[in-house]
Amino acid sequence: MEISILILPLVASIISGLFGKYIGDKYSGYITSILISISAILSIVVFYQVIFNQYENNIVIATWINSGSLAVNWSMKIDPLSAVMLVVVSLVSSLVHVYSIGYMHHDPHKPRFMSYLSLFTFSMLTLVTSDNLIQLFFGWEGVGVCSYFLIGFWFKRESANSAAIKAFIVNRVGDFGLAIGIFLIFYFFGTVNYSEVFALIPTIVDQEFSFLGLEVKKIDLICLLLFIGAMGKSAQIFLHTWLPDAMEGPTPVSALIHAATMVTAGVFLVVRCSPIYEYSPVILNFITIVGMTTAFFAATVALVQTDIKKIIAYSTCSQLGYMFFAAGVGAYNVAMFHLFTHAFFKALLFLGSGSVIHAFKDEQNINNMGGVLKKLPYTYILMIIGTLALTGFPFLSGFYSKDAIIEFAYLKGNTVGYYAAGIGIFTAFLTSIYSWRLIFKTFHGDYNNKKIKIEETHESPIIMLLPLALLAIGAIFAGISFKELFMGQGSENLFWGNSIKFLNPLSADHPPFWFIVLTPTLILLAIPIAYYLFVRNKQIPIKIADINKPLHNFLVNKWYFDELYEVLFVKPSKIVGLFLWKFCDVKIIDGFGPDGISLFIKKCSIKANKFQSGFIYQYAFVMLLGFSVLLTFLIIK
């Protein structure tokens, strides 16, 4: 049964990919959706087994690489952590599959699209169920390449192709760190199997390693390198630039890959490796700092974006930051909880925005929308639910998970913790502002689209709304129903068991009352503020932007990261490449090598040719000269 969870998506992908032409658009959509749904149901069964029967298993499917002391298997590790991921991945994936049947209705390449989606699901499942680092890496790169396919799905668009390549290469930079981390682990422990590695970790805690003349702790180096991988995949600051561009892909892709599942792989990696990270407080602090910086940075950028999907993309980036800083303060279960709830409401928001984009016939700029709340009532309500859940409106799912993150940061009790909590609260406020800005500009106010008439906008078909409704149920109830399981008193042992390691038990205290109510209050306050700014008095935001022109530009241009990387990496690589080719290879190596030598020989022979002039007197002269030199030489001797 467990194996079929993995295999069904692969089968779906192969059927739709290879035989899509024969079975037709319609059936490829149905077949893949049904197979993934079966996989999702099986995942839920496994999840229940894990919750109620403490079911754990490590299934070896086949051997993969056996070289010297390196032994890697294709395997499936079922434990609480992977069970949670199985449910998130297969459930969201099945809903996205169903939604895509409607959303991609007019696309000529629908079987290909479904095939990629299923292949992605397969890769993601191999990633989360791996029992070793190399299979994880397989899934890691596998989801990367599927993301590449799907971002560039509309292959005629130049921007989509560039975004796809950018996503893959930026991810490869992260993978570079991850791969070296894996090599290092193999080097130190002679194995890449989680359980074996984790068992050996305590033995190297204080050992040091010389790297470029620096003495660093082995454990810190491993943690840092693995985290670089996680930063790439989870779009943390410095390696985040691909995520907003990835919105070039069709919207279901953004919902599945760039919100609910793939981008959370980095968080999953850190949580999975908690038995390593727990011994490296330095890197945990670093993770907290990176996480909160990303959360803050992305929220500020989201404030001024005008593309509906990019706003949500930056929001995702920001929420991933929250997850990381939860992991950084040691609250891995809370990070997982936020990952779990986030999957529902963020997929909901993306699919909802897809519904809006669909209604406006591929318009993505929120300045060209507005006033359609009566035309799109269901989408509107569902988007509102998603927004409320995202911002942490009391008793919806985001409320439990996000507030818990901020509280645990506060309870950490050190400087980094307080700082993170402060930034976390402020970012929550910003989150609320930009999320409501999106809602108000999209649905309220006047109708601003000049290309199509308001009568032409239409609500999406039921096949698209149904997945949205299911996700909305998740967005409302996932928090309250699973809160106890994920992070209740004693859940570390009751639920998570060995899958997450807590070196120091999580604080059971509660923060002061004022602290608990602070975040929800700010979030609620943000709603009227946003309404006033973006519906009532639209001149104010424009004025603020005018007064703070440099700051506004800084935000609109996403802190100039793309421009910086262009100057730092892209251009130099091209210039160096050109230099190495045109100068080193052609001028120096060829110039002094084969071309130079042959030219030299040619010149010599031309010179030598001149001796053969054919004139007797010249030959006679040379002979005479030679004869006299010889004679002189003999006489002197």
Q: List contacts with other proteins (CB under 8 A).
A: 62-70, 74, 134, 137-138, 140-142, 145, 148, 152, 155-156, 158, 161-162, 164-165, 168-169, 172-173, 175-176, 179-180, 183-184, 186-187, 211-212, 573-574, 576-578, 580-581, 584-586, 589-590, 593-594, 597-598
Q: Which is nearer to other proteins, 236 or 427 (CB)?
A: 236
Q: What is the dihedral of CA 371, 377, 457, 433, to 10 degrees?
A: 50
CB closer to other proteins out of 176 and 531: 176
Q: Nearer to other proteins by C-beta: 176 or 447? A: 176
Quickly tell me which residue has 């561009």 as its tokens: 245
DSSP 8-state assignment for residue 365? B
* C-beta separation of 174 from 239 below 8 A: yes
Q: Which residues pair with 132 in a beta bridge?
A: 193
CB of residue 57 to other proteins, shortest distance in Å? 22
Task: Give dist(CA 517, CA 399) in Å, integer.
Answer: 11
Q: How far is the CB of 255 from other proteins (least distance, A)?
A: 24
Q: Minimal distance in Å, beta carbon 128 to other proteins?
A: 15
User: CA 453, 457, 459: angle at the middle one, nearest 5?
Assistant: 165
Sequence-ordered list of residues with C-beta below 8 angstroms from that of 281, at least 6 positions apart, any chain: none
Spatial contact of 491 and 485, defined as CB atoms under 8 Å apart: yes
- Residue ranges of alpha helices (H) inside 69-217 are 80-103, 110-129, 133-151, 158-189, 194-200
Instruction: Single out the residue of 179, 190, 182, 189 nearest to residue 70, CA to CA.
Output: 190
Q: Please, which residue, 473 or 601, has the CB nearer to other proteins?
A: 601
Q: Which of 295, 588, 253 is nearest to 419 (CA)?
A: 295
Least gap, CB of 379 to other proteins (angstroms): 32
Q: Which two tokens stand for residue 18?
A: 């290879």
Give the nearer residue to other proteins in terms of CB position, either 490 or 593: 593
Structure tokens at 63: 């051997």
Write down the residue that tokens 């700092």 correspond to. 289
**Which position has the token pair 């793309």?**
562
Taking a C-beta distance cutoff of 8 angstroms, is the pair 325, 409 a contact? yes
Give me the least distance between CB of 145 and other proteins, in Å please: 6
- CA torsion, points 522, 525, 526, 532, in degrees to nearest 10? -160
Nearer to other proteins, 123 or 449 (CB): 123
Q: To the nearest whole angstrom, how small is the minimum distance from the Cβ of residue 420 to other proteins?
A: 31
Q: CB 610 → other proteins: shortest distance, Å?
A: 25
- CB of 179 vs other proteins, minimal distance in Å: 6
Pick between residue 73 and residue 499 the one whose CB is nearest to other proteins: 73
Q: Which is nearer to other proteins, 413 or 596 (CB)?
A: 596
CA 257, 262, 267 angle in degrees (round to 5)? 145
Q: Are 286 and 198 in contact (CB under 8 A)?
A: no
Least Å distance between CB 269 and other proteins? 16
Nearer to other proteins, 169 or 381 (CB): 169
Q: How far is the CB of 575 from other proteins (least distance, A)?
A: 9
Which lies closer to other proteins via its Cβ, residue 152 or residue 244?
Answer: 152
Residue with tokens 């090599």: 183
